[in-house]
């Protein structure tokens, strides 16, 4: 008792003694019920906290089909098949379909005038610098000033001649019929933790159905053959507009599987979106394009080429997903975490009652009783 007295007399400050409050008990039980609802409803039912999970391992192969006819002054009448417009023939999880192009025929290495711009136009020889080349040059300047046409002179270059003129992109797109081409996507997935594998050509799909079906989210949601125009349309875009300058589309395959159910319930879900920006804030260098050339040699060994600047749509097949299956360890961990939350119910209750409620001062008076030191001494002596 003397030690108790000396402790409180040494510090001349008020002391706090806790008292029980019926109101606080009711709030405490309400907080506990909320925690219980969170653990059962969110952790176990919605998030499936009783399951072990694994991420998908995937492989994708693609095949495009379709034929188009063009008739232009440059190439004449010509049939375009898969070997012409799918470049390159195979890529990893990606396929590029050419929809527009600028052709520069019969190029040979030699001397010719450069394309006119503010850095290549000239009036006399001194305006051209021998050996000069910039990142936008088609060749190396020879130092001569030559006629580009009747009204313009440009610096001469040593290059593949005639140089490419890509100032004017064909409108409408060169291969408008690409909208009706089809894309077959074959996707195999594997969840190594559960040794579970499947593919997007489901067991119910036979050869007859596969030859005639086209994916439709309502009537044929599991058909792995997609019409290119429908892919772009499903992403909220216009195919013919996109075909002019090209773009990048995502074909997403989602494999979210609950392996506590039958394997037949594990099925792919397809979605589509445009990946490259197409809005008023991104007007510089829009779309998607690249160049390639086809080389030839005549009987005398002279080399020439056809340069093609290809615009088109690149389709990226993106596979993602998660599988879950019951396991004792995550179940016990989440149960333990839920029980631990009940320990903080009292703390949460105090915070709510003493700081957030309208009658917080009333509850503070009921919860705490301030006792001076001499009262505590009297109590201890008695």
How far is 268 from 197, CA to CA, in rounded Å? 13
Say how many C-beta atoms besides its own lie within 10 A of residue 280's C-beta. 5
309 is in an annotated binding site: yes
- Across the chain, where does the E strand assignment appear? 15-18, 51-55, 57-65, 68-72, 76-80, 94-113, 139-147, 153-161, 182-191, 196-199, 225-227, 247-258, 269-274, 289-297, 303-326, 368-371
Half-sphere exposure of 109 (CA within 13 A, CB side): 6
138 is in an annotated binding site: no
Q: Print burial letters for 107-128: b (CB count within 10 Å at least 16), e (below 16).
A: beeeebbbbbeeebbbeeeeeb
63 is in an annotated binding site: yes
User: Which residues are within 8 A (CB) of 171 and not within 5 positions of it... i.e. 6 or more apart?
Assistant: 244
186 is in an annotated binding site: no
Number of helices (H), then strands (E), in the chain = 10, 16
CA distances in angstroms from 91 to 19, 80, 115, listed in the order given: 73, 20, 34
269 is in an annotated binding site: no
120 is in an annotated binding site: no
Query: Binding site, residues?
Result: 63-65, 182, 289-291, 309
Query: Binding site for ATP, residues?
Result: 63-65, 182, 289-291, 309
């Amino acid at each position: 008792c003397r030690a108790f007295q000396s402790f409180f007399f040494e510090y001349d400050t008020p002391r706090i003694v806790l008292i029980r409050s019926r109101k606080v008990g009711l709030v405490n039980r309400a907080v506990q019920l909320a925690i219980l609802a969170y653990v059962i409803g969110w952790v176990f039912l919605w998030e499936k906290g009783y399951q072990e999970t694994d991420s998908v391992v995937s492989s994708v192969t693609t095949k495009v089909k379709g034929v188009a006819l063009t008739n232009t002054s440059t190439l004449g009448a010509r049939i375009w098949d898969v070997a012409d417009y799918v470049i390159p023939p195979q890529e990893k999880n990606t396929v590029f379909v050419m929809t527009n192009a600028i052709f520069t025929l019969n190029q040979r290495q030699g001397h010719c005038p450069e394309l006119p711009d503010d850095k290549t136009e000239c009036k006399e020889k001194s305006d051209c610098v021998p050996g000069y080349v910039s990142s936008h040059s088609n060749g190396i300047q020879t130092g001569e000033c030559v006629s580009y046409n009747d009204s313009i002179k440009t610096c001469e270059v040593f290059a593949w001649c005639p140089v490419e003129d890509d100032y004017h992109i064909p409108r409408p797109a060169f291969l408008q019929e690409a909208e009706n081409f089809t894309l077959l996507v074959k996707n195999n997935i594997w969840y190594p933790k559960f040794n579970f594998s499947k593919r997007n050509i489901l067991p119910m799909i036979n050869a007859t159905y596969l030859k005639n079906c086209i994916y439709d989210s309502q009537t044929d949601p599991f058909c792995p053959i997609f019409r290119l125009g429908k892919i772009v349309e499903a992403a909220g875009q216009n195919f013919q507009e996109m075909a002019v300058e090209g773009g990048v589309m995502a074909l997403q395959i989602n494999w979210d599987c609950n392996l506590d159910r039958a394997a037949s319930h594990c099925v792919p879900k397809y979605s589509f979106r445009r990946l490259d920006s197409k809005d008023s804030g991104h007007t510089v260098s829009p779309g998607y394009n690249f160049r390639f050339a086809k080389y030839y040699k005549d009987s005398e060994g002279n080399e020439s080429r056809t340069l093609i600047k290809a615009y088109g749509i690149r389709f990226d097949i993106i596979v993602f997903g998660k599988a879950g299956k019951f396991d004792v360890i995550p179940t016990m961990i989440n149960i333990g975490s839920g029980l631990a939350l009940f320990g903080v119910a009292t703390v949460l209750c105090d915070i709510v009652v003493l700081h957030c409620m309208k009658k917080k001062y009333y509850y503070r008076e009921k919860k705490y009783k301030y006792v001076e030191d001499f009262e505590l001494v009297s109590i201890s002596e008695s």
